[in-house]
Structure 1
Amino acid sequence: MTDPVSDQTPAANTNAASQTLEWRDGDMPYSTAFGDHFYCQTDGRLECGHVFLAGNGLPARWDEQRSFLIGELGFGTGLNFCETWRQWRQHRKQGSQLHFMSFELYPMRAAEIDRALSHWPEIDVERRALVAAWPEEPRDIVTLALDAETRLSVVCGPAIDGVRQAATGFDAWYLDGFAPSRNGDMWSPELMQFLHDKTVAGGTFATYAAAGFVRRNLQAAGFTVERRKGFAGKREMLCGVK
């Protein structure tokens, strides 16, 4: 298998930042830096399936190719990765390879990830494996070979730097930064253009966000953008294709 990013790993920020978390309703992390929850308060795992997997045509597309590269803006608690890995383990074909590359400014510590994901018994196996492999002081680029067919890379630092320096070859994107009104840098025209340029022809994106400027930035970058019904009463979400 040819890995489109292995020879051009993004240069990392050697001083990965940290942030103060608040824990609400038991084990739901809240970012004081961005004034927002890390995932949908209704059910973040089900939202991942509705928005990011279904919005990118997964798991069906995994049948079409032997290797698949997912990019994500905002690793957060690792929830999207764990749910994707769970479904990948159920649907992958023998010998196929998944590389999940996420870009995260404020990497959590293992204990914080463990607490945040303990809510979902459905991803208990994935949570335990991720927490066991997670470094004590996440910084630079965290690269984990979690099984023979699954690799996780978390590039620590500003997303625009990491994506700019990544090689091309992304098949799908999860756009999961904090709300556009609270984290505008994660949805900027420049970053959306880098995403488009790093994506293969026919590659896709999906996001819970439906703000007009997000849609316009994605369209200006070159994506064909589609509105779909959002999760848990949210009127709209966006997905699209290059």
Structure 2
Amino acid sequence: MSTKAPDLEWLEGDVPRAEAFDDTYFSRAGGLEETRHVFLKGNGLPARFSGRDTFTIAEFGFGTGLNFLTTLVALKELSRPPALTFVSFELYPMTADQLARALGAFPQLGSLAADLIAAWNPHPGWNRLSVSGADLLLGIGDARDLIGRLRLDGRESGEEECVISAIDAWYLDGFSPARNPELWDADLMKAAAGLTAPGGTLATYTAAGWVRRNLQSAGFTIEKTGGFAGKREMVTGRMA
């Protein structure tokens, strides 16, 4: 397997659009605000960090790293942050130059973005990066294959597998389900559910009916709530 960088069109100078999926990597109405509303607030963060020694977040679609970095900002504001493991999947990893240009739109991320770019050298399979004190476990390739190589701590694992703690929160952030259905299919949602801690949560910007049904079939209780900017609805969920 080889890594292939995405073909990008740059809208308004700094908003990357993936030509293969005809979709932008973050909202033109405000990428940071979108991440905070959908993924942090949707998962009850940063309040759920309180009192925890460790916390594990997983994400479908690393993209520009904006969700990861925004989460780090929230952690850095705490007096006693938990140790963060952030597990993310990406089929088309950006080059360091593409990443730098995209994140240049968010100067408030400052040294955190610089640390990510300095550590950025992804290869196919699982990559473990240390970024600003967080453990970033980055899977480069098809999420449907890579998720099968994750094992929960305490369960038997093989040499080619990565051991993680049960996932406390999911950021489901693939491109539009209509254009990228692979990241939303029923088997992948079931695999995600199998790695989720009891009471673990999810949040996603999409409220597509078939995505909700796949999540419910996987074992999540699903609720619709107000979306970001002009989007009427988004979805949150919890594992029983």
- Under a length normalisation based on structure 1, what TM-score does the superposition of the two structures give? 0.90
User: What is the CA–CA distance in structure 1 between the aligned matches of 2:111 and 2:29, rounded to whole Å?
Assistant: 22
C-alpha displacement at 1:138, in angstroms? Answer: 3.9
C-alpha displacement at 1:15, in angstroms? Answer: 2.0
Aligned with 2:207: secondary structure? coil
Match runs of 1:144-163 below 5 Å? 144-148=129-133, 150-163=134-147
- Give the structure, 1 or 2, with the largest relative contact order (CA under 8 Å, sep 6 or more): 1
Q: Which amino acid aligns with 1:126?
A: L
C-alpha displacement at 1:125, in angstroms? Answer: 1.9
C-alpha displacement at 1:162, in angstroms? Answer: 1.6
Is residue 121 from structure 1 mapped to residue 107 from structure 2 by the alignment?
A: yes
Q: Which amino acid aligns with 2:183?
A: M
User: What is the CA–CA distance in structure 1 between the aligned matches of 2:109 and 2:123, rounded to whole Å?
Assistant: 22
Could you report, residue by residue, the CA deviation over 1:176-205 in whole angstroms, capped at 9, with x for unpaired residues?
A: 000000000110011111111110100010
Could you report, residue by residue, the CA deviation over 1:45-95 in whole angstroms, capped at 9, with x for unpaired residues?
A: 11000000011111111113211110000000111111111111112616x
User: What is the CA–CA distance in structure 1 between the aligned matches of 2:40 and 2:146, rounded to whole Å?
Assistant: 23
Match runs of 1:150-189 below 5 Å? 150-168=134-152, 169-189=166-186
- Checking the alignment, whether the CA contact within 8 Å between 2:25 and 2:64 is kept in structure 1 is yes
C-alpha displacement at 1:98, in angstroms? Answer: 0.2
Which of the residues 125, 132, 142 maps onto 1:140?
125
List runs of 5+ in structure 2 lacking aligned partners.
153-165
- Corresponding position of 2:157: none
Is residue 208 from structure 1 mapped to residue 194 from structure 2 by the alignment?
A: no
- Checking the alignment, whether the CA contact within 8 Å between 1:63 and 1:92 is kept in structure 2 is no
User: What is the CA–CA distance in structure 1 between the aligned matches of 2:214 and 2:61, rounded to whole Å?
Assistant: 18
Q: Which amino acid aligns with 1:140?
A: G
Is residue 35 from structure 1 mapped to residue 35 from structure 2 by the alignment?
A: no
Q: Which amino acid aligns with 2:148?
A: R
- Corresponding position of 1:191: 188
Could you report, residue by residue, the CA deviation over 1:102-144 in whole angstroms, capped at 9, with x for unpaired residues?
A: 0000011111111001111221221111111111x54332321
Which of the residues 82, 87, 98 maps onto 1:112?
98
Give the share of equivalent positions with the same residue, in percent.
45
User: What is the CA–CA distance in structure 2 between the aligned matches of 1:111 and 1:142, rounded to whole Å?
Assistant: 19
Is residue 86 from structure 1 mapped to residue 73 from structure 2 by the alignment?
A: yes
C-alpha displacement at 1:19, in angstroms? Answer: 2.4
Give the ranges of 4+ consecutive aligned residues of structure 1 lying more than 3 Å apart after TM superposition: none
Q: Which amino acid aligns with 1:175?
A: L
List runs of 5+ in structure 1 lacking aligned partners.
1-13
- Under a length normalisation based on structure 2, what TM-score does the superposition of the two structures give? 0.90
Q: Which amino acid aligns with 1:89?
A: K
- Corresponding position of 2:86: 100
User: What is the CA–CA distance in structure 2 between the aligned matches of 1:138 and 1:85, rounded to whole Å?
Assistant: 23
